[in-house]
Structure 1
């Protein structure tokens, strides 16, 4: 099968500091070199490191940051034949991380606004499409419609929260949300933010990630809850992207939803144990080892 990830590529500048700044406050910290990031690229790297056959579709600038992001994708085994270089600045992010691994992120979206669904020339039946919200919403809506018509599996991570027409959302197989995103869309729909309520409102599969409390999914087949793995968090920035990328890769290779969610939950936990976003995406061997240790602990 083939997994298309349509989304953003952003160069991350990570600032480590004792506490996150409050409004009007300056906090001194240390910054490292630019790292690969952007929800789209992070998720593509996560999927590829888990063994997925991944094509990343997006835009970067003709600048050093764009070259860095392209090289990182290639190193991870991602197909970048549909990654375009544009006469615009590559997207940038300032990521502030405190001593407990919590983060605040500011993003300049840059060339990502030039990404177009038409960069995917053909969608094979049975392919998987994974999208986020750091590109133009109308391009996501166009790709959802094309994916549905082609018989693809269509997933959207509504991050950051943004508006899409209800008819576009109803074309999804899975809508993936964290708790704040679930609250945002629930308010717009006039429904409680729980997965079951949102599933009833939209008629599609809903996944809500809940941090240390695990993740809940509700589809037409019923509800699933997967507990979180206990890890020492260093930086939570890429956890959601690791979760989404590995879920998509697992589903694309035919894994049932529950098993795919368990694998994704392990990947999200591992991403919290390393600094950065793209560089923290775990490899398949690491995910396998954590799942094996979890199963061993249950059997004892």
Structure 2
């Protein structure tokens, strides 16, 4: 079954630093690199490298950054027929990565702000639709409702945390948040920050990624807790996107949520051991090898 990803495609400018800069603080960086990124593109690459048939829908500019933004998607074999080319500049991100693999990121949406749900062709029943929050929230809400109406399964990674219409959240097949996004959403709905608390408030299955502590999920009458795979982190930039993309790929193949979360955890751990975002996504064979070893 196909995975359709609706989201952002960026050119990432990556700066290696000893320590992340704070307010009013200038630090010297090592050689910078221009790499493909954007949460949507990263997750699409992760799903494609894990063996899914992937269609990506988003928007880029007519500038030289567009090829950088789309390069990993092309290399992974994603269908780019639903990508719009606009007069706005291609989205870009400035990423500082410190010696411990932690990062600080500033994102300019650019053309991503012009991505529209109408670009996505009709969806097949059971198809997985993966979304994030680096495109307009109203367009995400429209596509989530379409997915429900057409029998597809919408997965929203609420990253970054911005408001989404509650009825769209309640139409999801699965909501994925990290600890910070879970706290933000829980404050909005007045519930506990756990997966179980968010599930009770929204009535949909919720997964919360917990970094080195793994991930938890809660659905109707079920709870899951999946540990992370211990690795030496080099760059955590793409870890969350690896988790979401591989989860979507596994679900598209019919895997139950618990198995899909374990596979996603393995892929995210591998991504942490490599620099960059889209380029850090593991292949299916690499993920399977870690699963066997673990």
**TM-score normalised over the length of structure 2:** 0.99
Distance 2:50 2:239 in 1: 15
Paired residues of 1:56 and 1:80 also in contact (CA < 8 A) = yes
**In the TM superposition, what are the counterparts of 1:158-197 in structure 2 within 5 Å?**
158-197=158-197
Give deviations 1:42-97, integer Å, cap 9, x for gaps. 00000000000000000011111102222321111111111111111000100000
Distance 1:29 1:145 in 2: 44
C-alpha RMSD over aligned residues: 0.7
**TM-score normalised over the length of structure 1:** 0.97
Paired residues of 1:13 and 1:31 also in contact (CA < 8 A) = no
Partner secondary structure for residue 33 of structure 2: coil
Paired residues of 1:5 and 1:131 also in contact (CA < 8 A) = yes
- 1:5 aligns to what? 5
Q: Between 203-212 and 66-75, report the one with greater CA deviation.
A: 66-75
Give the number of aligned pairs.
294
Paired residues of 1:10 and 1:69 also in contact (CA < 8 A) = yes
- 1:289 aligns to what? 289
Does residue 256 of structure 1 match 2:280?
no
Distance 1:270 1:243 in 2: 10
Partner secondary structure for residue 140 of structure 2: helix
Paired residues of 1:133 and 1:162 also in contact (CA < 8 A) = yes
Paired residues of 1:263 and 1:291 also in contact (CA < 8 A) = yes
Structure 1 position 221, deviation (Å): 3.5
Structure 1 position 119, deviation (Å): 0.4
- 1:297 aligns to what? none
**In the TM superposition, what are the counterparts of 1:68-147 in structure 2 within 5 Å?**
68-147=68-147
Structure 1 position 31, deviation (Å): 3.6
Paired residues of 2:36 and 2:71 also in contact (CA < 8 A) = no
Partner secondary structure for residue 183 of structure 1: helix
Distance 2:42 2:104 in 1: 17
Partner secondary structure for residue 164 of structure 1: coil
Partner secondary structure for residue 30 of structure 1: coil
- 1:156 aligns to what? 156
Distance 1:33 1:9 in 2: 16
Distance 1:121 1:48 in 2: 19
Paired residues of 2:173 and 2:204 also in contact (CA < 8 A) = yes
- 1:40 aligns to what? 40
Paired residues of 1:35 and 1:276 also in contact (CA < 8 A) = yes
Does residue 210 of structure 1 match 2:176?
no
- 2:24 aligns to what? 24
Structure 1 position 165, deviation (Å): 1.1
Partner secondary structure for residue 254 of structure 2: coil
Give deviations 1:216-260, integer Å, cap 9, x for gaps. 000114100000100000000000000000000000111111110
Give deviations 1:136-167, integer Å, cap 9, x for gaps. 00000000000000111110000000101110
Paired residues of 1:3 and 1:129 also in contact (CA < 8 A) = yes
Structure 1 position 33, deviation (Å): 2.5
Paired residues of 2:15 and 2:33 also in contact (CA < 8 A) = no
